[in-house]
Amino acid sequence: MVKASLIWLNYNSISFIDIALKSIDSLLNLDFDEYEVIIVDNASNDGSFERIKNYVEEHRPSDVRVKFVISNVNRGYAGGNNLGWEARDPESKYAVFLNNDLIVELESLKKIIDYMEGEENLAAANGILYSLKGSGSRRIYAVGGFVTDLWISGDICYGIPEHECPGIDKPHYVTYADGAYMVVKVDAIRSVCPDGKPFIDETFIYLDDDLLGLILWNRGYLCAGKSWSSP
C-alpha cells in the first residue's frame, strides 16, 4: 500500500481563515487510503494556529492521522516545509507540499500518485492549479513551472482559461512542479538533494520549488504536470 505524508504550512492566516479551514477540510477528506496530514505552523502570532488546531480536533476523521509541528521562528516556505519533511512517517513513499489557501479536489492525490507509480524516473508532479477571481471565474494558476537559461521563470499557462492552454490534458514535462501543491517521491529527494531535504532553508520563500526541480533534472529525474484532477 502506498503511503503519503501531506505537509500543510501555515503562517498568520487569520485574515483568510475561512479559506484556510476549507483547505484543511479538503485534506481531511481525500479519496486516498493511507495518508497523514502534518500541519506546520511558522510561529504565527495572530491566533490562526489555535483556530486551525481546534478545527482539526473537531472535524478529523478517525482514520486520518494528524501531526502538529510548531516552529519557534518563521522559517519561510523552505524551512517550514523542511520541518514537516522531517516529521513525516518513515514509511511514506510520497510527500506532498500544500499552501494554506489551496483547496484540494478529493481524487486529485490518488490520480497523481497512480500516474507517478507507473513512471520510475518521475520524481515530482502536480495537476492543474486554479485561481478564483472576484467574479468567481476559474483561471489557471499553474500547470507546473519553467526556468529558462537566462533564469527567467514563471508558471505555465498562468492566468488564462483552460481552453487556451493546449495539451493540458496530456502529461508534459516541466522544469519544476509548483510548490503550492507538489507531490514528490521521498526516495528521490533523499538520494539527490542536499542533506536529504527537499528545500534549501536559506531560500526562505524564493526559488524553492525552482531549485528542487533543477536539482532533480540534473540528477536524472523528471518533473511533470497534467490535468489529472477533473474540473
| pLDDT in single tens digits along all 231 residues of the chain | 689 999 999 999 999 999 999 999 999 999 999 999 999 999 999 999 999 999 999 999 999 999 999 999 999 999 999 999 999 999 999 999 999 999 999 999 999 999 999 999 999 999 889 987 655 668 899 999 999 988 899 999 999 988 898 887 778 899 999 999 999 999 999 999 999 999 999 999 888 999 999 999 999 999 998 765 443
Q: What is the C-alpha end-to-end distance of the chain, expressed in Å? A: 27
Quote the CA–CA distance of 120 and 112 in Å, as a whole number. Answer: 14
Strands 122-126 and 181-185: antiparallel
Please tell me the pTM assigned to this model: 0.94
E-strand stretches of 59-185: 65-70, 94-98, 122-126, 129-132, 138-142, 145-147, 153-155, 172-173, 181-185
Residue type, 3: K
Quote the CA–CA distance of 224 and 226 in Å, as a whole number. Answer: 7
Residues sharing a CB contact under 8 Å with residue 191, sequence separation 6 or more, in sequence order:
219
**pLDDT given for residue 1 in this prediction:** 63
Residue type, 33: D
Q: At 217, list the grid cell.
A: 533534472
